Homo-oligomer: A and B are copies of this chain.
Protein backbone atom coordinates (compact mmCIF):
# COMPACT_ATOMS: atom_id res chain seq x y z
CA UNK A 1 0.00 0.00 0.00
CA UNK A 2 1.37 3.41 -0.90
CA UNK A 3 0.64 6.53 1.10
CA UNK A 4 1.92 9.90 -0.20
CA UNK A 5 3.67 7.86 -2.89
CA UNK A 6 6.26 6.55 -0.48
CA UNK A 7 6.77 2.93 0.38
CA UNK A 8 5.37 1.22 3.42
CA UNK A 9 4.45 -2.34 4.28
CA UNK A 10 6.33 -5.44 3.22
CA UNK A 11 8.89 -5.21 0.45
CA UNK A 12 10.78 -8.14 -1.05
CA UNK A 13 14.45 -8.16 -2.05
CA UNK A 14 13.64 -10.64 -4.79
CA UNK A 15 16.10 -13.49 -5.36
CA UNK A 16 17.68 -13.35 -8.81
CA UNK A 17 17.54 -16.52 -10.92
CA UNK A 18 20.48 -17.42 -13.15
CA UNK A 19 20.73 -19.53 -16.29
CA UNK A 20 23.12 -22.51 -16.37
CA UNK A 21 25.79 -20.20 -17.84
CA UNK A 22 25.24 -17.91 -14.79
CA UNK A 23 23.72 -15.09 -16.84
CA UNK A 24 20.63 -13.49 -15.26
CA UNK A 25 17.47 -15.41 -16.17
CA UNK A 26 15.04 -12.70 -17.26
CA UNK A 27 12.02 -14.95 -17.73
CA UNK A 28 12.10 -16.55 -14.30
CA UNK A 29 12.90 -13.20 -12.69
CA UNK A 30 9.85 -11.57 -14.28
CA UNK A 31 7.65 -14.50 -13.25
CA UNK A 32 8.74 -14.26 -9.62
CA UNK A 33 8.32 -10.48 -9.50
CA UNK A 34 4.80 -10.79 -10.92
CA UNK A 35 3.97 -13.58 -8.49
CA UNK A 36 5.13 -11.54 -5.50
CA UNK A 37 3.06 -8.52 -6.54
CA UNK A 38 0.05 -10.78 -7.06
CA UNK A 39 0.61 -12.17 -3.58
CA UNK A 40 0.48 -8.70 -2.04
CA UNK A 41 4.04 -7.39 -1.85
CA UNK A 42 3.97 -3.63 -1.23
CA UNK A 43 7.08 -3.21 -3.28
CA UNK A 44 10.04 -5.07 -4.72
CA UNK A 45 13.44 -4.11 -3.40
CA UNK A 46 15.16 -5.83 -6.31
CA UNK A 47 18.97 -5.95 -6.29
CA UNK A 48 19.40 -6.27 -2.56
CA UNK A 49 21.78 -8.55 -0.69
CA UNK A 50 19.38 -11.49 -1.07
CA UNK A 51 19.23 -10.75 -4.80
CA UNK A 52 23.00 -11.33 -5.07
CA UNK A 53 23.05 -7.80 -6.50
CA UNK A 54 26.68 -7.18 -5.69
CA UNK A 55 27.43 -10.30 -7.73
CA UNK A 56 25.71 -8.63 -10.71
CA UNK A 57 27.37 -5.71 -12.50
CA UNK A 58 25.65 -2.40 -13.26
CA UNK A 59 25.07 -3.23 -16.93
CA UNK A 60 23.24 -6.47 -16.13
CA UNK A 61 21.22 -4.87 -13.31
CA UNK A 62 20.02 -2.07 -15.59
CA UNK A 63 19.01 -4.54 -18.28
CA UNK A 64 16.95 -6.57 -15.80
CA UNK A 65 15.22 -3.45 -14.49
CA UNK A 66 14.29 -2.33 -18.00
CA UNK A 67 13.00 -5.81 -18.77
CA UNK A 68 10.63 -5.70 -15.80
CA UNK A 69 9.16 -2.37 -16.87
CA UNK A 70 8.81 -3.46 -20.48
CA UNK A 71 6.74 -6.34 -19.18
CA UNK A 72 4.37 -4.22 -17.19
CA UNK A 73 5.80 -4.28 -13.68
CA UNK A 74 4.92 -0.81 -12.30
CA UNK A 75 8.02 1.32 -11.72
CA UNK A 76 6.47 2.88 -8.61
CA UNK A 77 6.57 -0.56 -6.93
CA UNK A 78 10.31 -0.92 -7.48
CA UNK A 79 13.06 0.09 -5.06
CA UNK A 80 16.19 -1.18 -6.84
CA UNK A 81 19.45 -1.45 -4.95
CA UNK A 82 21.95 1.03 -6.38
CA UNK A 83 24.84 0.10 -4.13
CA UNK A 84 28.40 -0.15 -5.38
CA UNK A 85 31.81 0.79 -4.02
CA UNK A 86 32.46 3.44 -6.70
CA UNK A 87 30.48 6.68 -6.80
CA UNK A 88 30.42 6.70 -10.61
CA UNK A 89 28.70 3.29 -10.61
CA UNK A 90 26.19 4.42 -7.99
CA UNK A 91 25.43 7.62 -9.91
CA UNK A 92 24.85 5.64 -13.08
CA UNK A 93 22.44 3.25 -11.35
CA UNK A 94 20.61 6.09 -9.59
CA UNK A 95 20.16 8.13 -12.77
CA UNK A 96 18.85 5.06 -14.51
CA UNK A 97 16.36 4.26 -11.73
CA UNK A 98 15.24 7.89 -11.66
CA UNK A 99 14.73 8.09 -15.42
CA UNK A 100 12.58 4.98 -15.29
CA UNK A 101 10.44 6.46 -12.52
CA UNK A 102 11.22 3.94 -9.80
CA UNK A 103 9.46 4.42 -6.48
CA UNK A 104 12.80 4.68 -4.74
CA UNK A 105 16.32 3.33 -4.56
CA UNK A 106 18.18 1.49 -1.81
CA UNK A 107 21.68 2.85 -1.20
CA UNK A 108 24.47 0.87 0.46
CA UNK A 109 27.40 2.73 1.92
CA UNK A 110 30.64 2.23 -0.03
CA UNK A 111 31.83 -1.04 1.49
CA UNK A 112 35.40 -1.75 0.35
CA UNK A 113 37.38 0.38 2.81
CA UNK A 114 36.70 -0.48 6.44
CA UNK A 115 36.76 1.83 9.44
CA UNK A 116 35.90 4.89 7.37
CA UNK A 117 34.58 8.02 9.08
CA UNK A 118 31.02 9.34 9.16
CA UNK A 119 32.40 12.45 7.42
CA UNK A 120 33.66 10.29 4.57
CA UNK A 121 30.34 8.44 4.27
CA UNK A 122 28.44 11.73 4.39
CA UNK A 123 30.62 13.07 1.57
CA UNK A 124 29.98 9.91 -0.46
CA UNK A 125 26.20 10.26 -0.17
CA UNK A 126 26.43 14.01 -0.83
CA UNK A 127 28.53 13.34 -3.93
CA UNK A 128 26.05 10.89 -5.44
CA UNK A 129 23.06 13.08 -4.55
CA UNK A 130 24.62 16.21 -6.07
CA UNK A 131 25.18 14.24 -9.27
CA UNK A 132 21.55 13.11 -9.41
CA UNK A 133 19.90 16.39 -8.52
CA UNK A 134 16.50 17.11 -9.94
CA UNK A 135 15.85 13.40 -10.26
CA UNK A 136 13.31 13.33 -7.43
CA UNK A 137 14.30 9.73 -6.76
CA UNK A 138 13.55 8.82 -3.15
CA UNK A 139 16.65 7.39 -1.54
CA UNK A 140 16.49 4.80 1.24
CA UNK A 141 19.69 4.09 3.14
CA UNK A 142 20.70 0.46 3.44
CA UNK A 143 22.24 -0.37 6.81
CA UNK A 144 23.55 -3.95 6.85
CA UNK A 145 26.76 -4.00 8.91
CA UNK A 146 26.87 -7.81 9.28
CA UNK A 147 27.61 -8.04 5.55
CA UNK A 148 28.82 -4.63 4.37
CA UNK A 149 30.83 -4.06 7.60
CA UNK A 150 30.39 -0.33 6.94
CA UNK A 151 27.09 1.19 8.10
CA UNK A 152 25.02 4.31 8.68
CA UNK A 153 25.12 5.32 12.36
CA UNK A 154 22.07 7.13 13.78
CA UNK A 155 24.12 10.35 13.98
CA UNK A 156 25.07 10.07 10.34
CA UNK A 157 21.47 9.34 9.38
CA UNK A 158 20.46 12.53 11.20
CA UNK A 159 23.06 14.59 9.37
CA UNK A 160 21.91 13.20 6.03
CA UNK A 161 18.23 13.86 6.76
CA UNK A 162 19.07 17.43 7.82
CA UNK A 163 21.14 18.08 4.72
CA UNK A 164 18.88 16.32 2.19
CA UNK A 165 15.34 16.25 3.63
CA UNK A 166 13.68 15.79 0.24
CA UNK A 167 16.02 13.03 -0.94
CA UNK A 168 16.90 10.82 2.03
CA UNK A 169 13.46 9.54 3.01
CA UNK A 170 13.99 6.21 4.74
CA UNK A 171 16.26 3.36 5.78
CA UNK A 172 16.37 -0.40 5.79
CA UNK A 173 17.85 -1.62 9.06
CA UNK A 174 19.45 -5.04 8.63
CA UNK A 175 21.61 -4.65 11.71
CA UNK A 176 19.62 -7.41 13.39
CA UNK A 177 19.43 -5.10 16.41
CA UNK A 178 15.91 -3.83 17.10
CA UNK A 179 17.27 -1.25 19.57
CA UNK A 180 18.91 0.45 16.62
CA UNK A 181 15.65 0.32 14.63
CA UNK A 182 13.71 1.81 17.52
CA UNK A 183 16.30 4.57 17.98
CA UNK A 184 15.98 5.56 14.32
CA UNK A 185 12.16 5.57 14.46
CA UNK A 186 12.08 7.67 17.63
CA UNK A 187 14.77 10.14 16.61
CA UNK A 188 13.49 10.82 13.10
CA UNK A 189 9.68 11.21 12.93
CA UNK A 190 8.35 10.93 9.40
CA UNK A 191 11.49 9.07 8.25
CA UNK A 192 10.49 5.66 6.90
CA UNK A 193 12.30 2.97 8.81
CA UNK A 194 12.01 -0.62 7.59
CA UNK A 195 13.25 -3.57 9.55
CA UNK A 196 15.49 -5.89 7.56
CA UNK A 197 13.70 -8.90 9.04
CA UNK A 198 10.06 -9.86 9.58
CA UNK A 199 11.08 -11.08 13.02
CA UNK A 200 10.90 -7.43 14.10
CA UNK A 201 7.92 -6.43 11.94
CA UNK A 202 5.33 -6.18 14.69
CA UNK A 203 7.74 -4.34 17.00
CA UNK A 204 8.67 -2.02 14.15
CA UNK A 205 5.06 -1.17 13.35
CA UNK A 206 4.16 -0.68 17.03
CA UNK A 207 7.11 1.70 17.39
CA UNK A 208 5.91 3.71 14.40
CA UNK A 209 8.11 2.21 11.68
CA UNK A 210 7.12 1.73 8.04
CA UNK A 211 7.37 -2.06 7.66
CA UNK A 212 10.02 -4.52 6.63
CA UNK A 213 12.12 -5.43 3.63
CA UNK A 214 12.92 -9.07 4.11
CA UNK A 215 14.76 -11.86 2.33
CA UNK A 216 12.21 -14.52 3.18
CA UNK A 217 9.55 -12.48 1.41
CA UNK A 218 10.59 -14.30 -1.77
CA UNK A 219 8.88 -17.44 -0.43
CA UNK A 220 6.63 -16.27 2.41
CA UNK A 221 5.19 -12.93 1.32
CA UNK A 222 1.67 -14.07 2.22
CA UNK A 223 2.54 -15.02 5.79
CA UNK A 224 4.57 -11.86 6.37
CA UNK A 225 2.04 -9.58 4.68
CA UNK A 226 -0.65 -10.87 7.07
CA UNK A 227 1.29 -9.49 10.03
CA UNK A 228 1.27 -6.09 8.37
CA UNK A 229 -2.41 -6.09 7.43
CA UNK A 230 -3.51 -7.36 10.85
CA UNK A 231 -0.93 -5.80 13.12
CA UNK A 232 -3.51 -4.03 15.29
CA UNK A 233 -5.63 -7.18 15.65
CA UNK A 234 -5.55 -9.92 18.28
CA UNK A 235 -4.03 -12.37 15.84
CA UNK A 236 -0.92 -10.24 15.26
CA UNK A 237 1.30 -11.92 17.84
CA UNK A 238 0.48 -15.40 16.60
CA UNK A 239 1.08 -14.40 12.98
CA UNK A 240 4.38 -12.85 14.01
CA UNK A 241 5.46 -15.99 15.88
CA UNK A 242 4.50 -18.16 12.96
CA UNK A 243 6.54 -16.10 10.46
CA UNK A 244 9.48 -15.98 12.86
CA UNK A 245 9.41 -19.78 13.21
CA UNK A 246 9.55 -20.21 9.42
CA UNK A 247 12.39 -17.73 9.16
CA UNK A 248 14.27 -19.50 11.89
CA UNK A 249 14.19 -22.75 9.90
CA UNK A 250 15.37 -21.02 6.71
CA UNK A 251 18.08 -19.09 8.56
CA UNK A 252 19.61 -22.29 9.89
CA UNK A 253 20.85 -22.78 6.29
CA UNK A 254 22.76 -20.34 4.08
CA UNK A 255 19.77 -18.07 3.41
CA UNK A 256 20.08 -17.20 -0.27
CA UNK A 257 20.71 -20.77 -1.48
CA UNK A 258 17.96 -21.93 0.90
CA UNK A 259 15.39 -19.56 -0.59
CA UNK A 260 16.32 -20.74 -4.07
CA UNK A 261 16.07 -24.38 -2.98
CA UNK A 262 12.56 -23.73 -1.64
CA UNK A 263 11.44 -22.11 -4.90
CA UNK A 264 13.03 -24.93 -6.93
CA UNK A 265 11.17 -27.46 -4.82
CA UNK A 266 7.82 -25.66 -4.88
CA UNK A 267 7.88 -25.05 -8.61
CA UNK A 268 9.47 -28.36 -9.53
CA UNK A 269 12.01 -26.29 -11.46
CA UNK A 270 15.61 -27.15 -10.44
CA UNK A 271 16.98 -24.22 -12.46
CA UNK A 272 16.07 -22.03 -9.50
CA UNK A 273 18.83 -23.61 -7.43
CA UNK A 274 21.60 -21.79 -9.31
CA UNK A 275 23.53 -19.10 -7.43
CA UNK A 276 26.46 -17.04 -8.59
CA UNK A 277 29.83 -17.73 -7.00
CA UNK A 278 31.12 -17.04 -4.37
CA UNK A 279 27.79 -18.44 -3.08
CA UNK A 280 27.15 -22.16 -3.43
CA UNK A 281 23.82 -23.95 -3.86
CA UNK A 282 22.60 -26.22 -1.08
CA UNK A 283 23.59 -29.79 -1.71
CA UNK A 284 20.93 -32.46 -2.10
CA UNK A 285 21.01 -33.51 1.55
CA UNK A 286 20.75 -29.96 2.87
CA UNK A 287 17.98 -29.18 0.46
CA UNK A 288 15.98 -32.25 1.46
CA UNK A 289 16.47 -31.53 5.15
CA UNK A 290 15.29 -27.95 4.71
CA UNK A 291 12.22 -28.98 2.75
CA UNK A 292 11.35 -31.62 5.35
CA UNK A 293 11.72 -29.16 8.23
CA UNK A 294 9.43 -26.70 6.49
CA UNK A 295 6.94 -29.48 5.73
CA UNK A 296 6.94 -30.49 9.39
CA UNK A 297 6.15 -26.87 10.25
CA UNK A 298 3.24 -27.00 7.77
CA UNK A 299 4.79 -24.27 5.67
CA UNK A 300 3.81 -23.75 2.07
CA UNK A 301 5.34 -21.01 -0.08
CA UNK A 302 3.02 -18.20 -1.12
CA UNK A 303 0.55 -19.18 -3.82
CA UNK A 304 2.17 -17.09 -6.55
CA UNK A 305 5.39 -19.04 -6.23
CA UNK A 306 3.56 -22.34 -6.52
CA UNK A 307 1.55 -21.01 -9.46
CA UNK A 308 4.83 -20.18 -11.25
CA UNK A 309 5.57 -23.89 -11.25
CA UNK A 310 2.14 -24.79 -12.63
CA UNK A 311 2.48 -22.20 -15.41
CA UNK A 312 5.90 -23.53 -16.33
CA UNK A 313 4.49 -27.06 -16.39
CA UNK A 314 1.59 -26.00 -18.60
CA UNK A 315 3.98 -24.22 -20.96
CA UNK A 316 6.17 -27.31 -21.11
CA UNK A 317 3.21 -29.66 -21.51
Contact = CB atoms under 8 A, between A and B. Distances in A.
Interface of A: 22, 49, 54-60, 84-89, 92, 109-114, 116-117, 119-124, 126-127, 146-150, 276-280
Number of this chain's copies in the assembly equals 2
Contacts of A112: 49, 54-55, 111, 147-148
Contacts of A110: 54-55, 277-278
B120 A277 contact: yes
A125 to B, nearest CB: 8
Nearest to A148: B112
Contacts of A121: 277-278
A126 B276 CA distance: 12
A62 to B, nearest CB: 12
A66 to B, nearest CB: 16
Contacts of A114: 146-147, 149
A32 to B, nearest CB: 20
A56 B278 contact: no
Contact of A123 (B84, B87, B92, B280): B280
B124 A277 contact: yes
A55 to B, nearest CB: 5
Contacts of A85: 54-55, 85
